[in-house]
Structure 1
Amino acid sequence: MQEDIIIQISQKIKEQRKSRGITVQELANKAEVSKGLISQIENNRTVPSLLVLVNIIRALDLDMNEFFNDMDQDRRTSRIIVIRQDRYLPVEKENSKGYHYRRVISRNIKGGPVDVQLLDLKKGARRNKMVKTDAWEYKYVIKGTVEYQVHNEVHILEAGDSIFFDGRLGHKPANIGNDDAFILIVCFFENAD
């Protein structure tokens, strides 16, 4: 599966930071940004501005060409892509027990990147903190009962229900059902002009 360049940038930053034994806080200090921003970038919750990206690459003591050298920039024109389930990649997001994300596909589509993931939400899984994403988010509950809090509104979603919202609003799901829940997630990132 070919991943979108933005996803590759996030993964490369995390890989390079870890391979150098640098903590998120140390990288943030060197790049002169917040620890939270580094975490959001590494976990694909936000797209860095060009200036921030350059500062992060420099803070990692990497040459720009070296950083982008092995990234796949394949711009296939195929309108049909088949992805087998064994190609879904695990995604590390917030450190929340019972939240298991897998990336199905990430592609640049007119208007910006689109990221499609599956979330296995274990019985009783609940996050304490709200998260924010620089994307519009669509969630479709395939299985289970999920309480979805967006800003100060709480919505109970059953299998077959869906919700669409601005991810810049604080949000968090909780599995309130008697079994594990399964959710399709589609994030629509807007291109910064």
Structure 2
Amino acid sequence: MNEAEFVAAFSRELKSLRLSNGMTLEELSRASEVSISTISKIENLQQKPSFETALRVARALKVNFVQMMEGPGLPQSGMTRRTITRAGEADTFRSDYYTYGVHATEIARKIMVPLVMRIRNRTPPPLADWSIHDGEEFVYVMKGVLEFHSEQYSPAILNVGDSCYFDSTMRHAFVSKGDGDAEILSICLSIKPFEEQARHSGDRSVQDGV
């Protein structure tokens, strides 16, 4: 996905999610701490969102920011889809704390978001910058020492080969505790497509008289 495609997809999904959540520009601005003017300009393709802005509005809408690039849709069952991301070909995004390598971007409307993340920070981000989004998440440590923070739990130290599976509607954050940056595989699973598919199937059943 090139930059123009990212901006267009993000702006469409931002407006769609805001309206589906019944939020005004002012309400989303308060929830995300992003100005009304900035949100409006992004929705109308007048301004490219910074990575931090993308993260803030995604957190406010309780979705994973990568999903906002792909647009809405149901899981496409019965299709034989496949994609390969070669070494060095992942789409890369950088925040103040992490570097994200996003894999399988050629497939839209998927229920899993595979990321390889480099954790650069040595102290926890401010609570307002912790991640929170729909679904569940699996994290596997590939390099270094990771300190995992989440609401309602004490911080946990994870070494190479350790993993953690958690409810990503809890605020969570990562910290590198080794000599260098930590590197993790993060797989985010959204349950919303399953709920939408079940609701969609239920609607069809009612229409069919089942």
Supply the distance in 1 between the matched residues of 2:62 and 2:143 (Cα, whole angstroms): 25
5+ residue gaps, structure 2: 16-22, 33-38, 40-55, 197-210
Kept in 1, the 8 Å contact 2:142–2:185? The answer is yes
> Gapped runs of 5+ residues in structure 1?
2-6, 18-28, 54-67
- Taking the aligned partners of 2:144 and 2:59, their CA distance within structure 1 comes to 29
Q: Is contact 1:119-1:185 (8 Å) kept? A: yes
Residue 146 (structure 1) aligns with: 146
Distance in 2 (CA, whole Å) between partners of 1:116 and 1:44 is 20
* SS of 1:124 mapped into structure 2: coil
Paired amino acid for 1:135: G
Q: Is the 8 Å Cα contact of residues 64 and 133 (structure 2) preserved in structure 1?
A: no
Q: Which residue in the other structure is 2:111 paired with?
A: 113
The aligned residue for residue 64 of structure 1 is: none
* Counterpart residue identity of residue 142, structure 1: M
Question: How far off its partner does 1:14 sit?
Answer: 8.1
Deviation at 1:96, TM superposition (A): 2.5
Pairwise CA RMSD: 4.1
Q: 1:41 to 1:176 in 2, by over 3 A?
A: same
**Contact in 1 for aligned 2:59/2:132 (Cα 8 Å):** no
Paired residue for 1:89, among 88, 91, 97?
Answer: 91
Within 2, Cα distance between the matches of 1:16 and 1:171? 22
Spell out the pairing of 1:97-176 with structure 2 (5 A cutoff).
Answer: 97=97, 99-105=98-104, 107=107, 113-122=111-120, 124=122, 126-129=124-127, 130-153=130-153, 154-176=155-177
* Code of the aligned partner of 2:189: F
How far residue 42 of structure 1 moved from its aligned partner, in angstroms, is 8.5
User: Aligned residues: percent identity?
Assistant: 19
What CA deviation, in whole Å up to 9, does each residue of 1:140-172 have, x standing for no partner? 000111110121321110000000000011111
**Secondary structure of 1:168's partner?**
coil
Q: Please name the residue that 1:183 is paired with.
A: 184
Distance change (3 Å), C-alpha of 1:16 and 1:135:
closer
* Paired amino acid for 1:104: H
- The answer to whether the 8 A contact 1:146-1:157 is kept is yes
Count matched residues. Answer: 150
Cα displacement (A) at 1:186: 0.3
Equivalent residues of 1:125, 1:174 under 8 A apart: yes
Following superposition, the deviation at residue 125 of structure 1 comes to: 5.4
User: TM-score, normalised to structure 1's length?
Assistant: 0.60
Q: Is the 8 A contact 1:118 1:183 kept in 2?
A: yes
CA contact (8 A) 1:123 1:177 kept: no
Q: 1:13 to 1:43 in 2, by over 3 A?
A: farther
| Structure 1 residues 182 and 10: alpha-carbon distance in aligned structure 2, compared to 1, 3 A threshold | farther
> Residues 11 and 83 (structure 1 numbering): CA distance in 2 closer, same or farther, change over 3 Å?
same
The aligned amino acid for 1:145 is: V
Find the aligned partners of 1:16 and 1:169 in 2 and give their Cα distance. 22
- Counterpart CA distance in 2 for 1:32 and 1:175 is 36
TM-aligned CA deviation for residue 108 of structure 1: 6.2
Aligned mates of 1:179, 1:105 — CA distance in 2: 27
Q: Is 1:135–1:167's contact at 8 Å kept on the other side of the alignment?
A: yes
CA distance in 2, matches of 1:150, 1:123: 16
Write the letter of the residue equivalent to 1:89. Answer: D
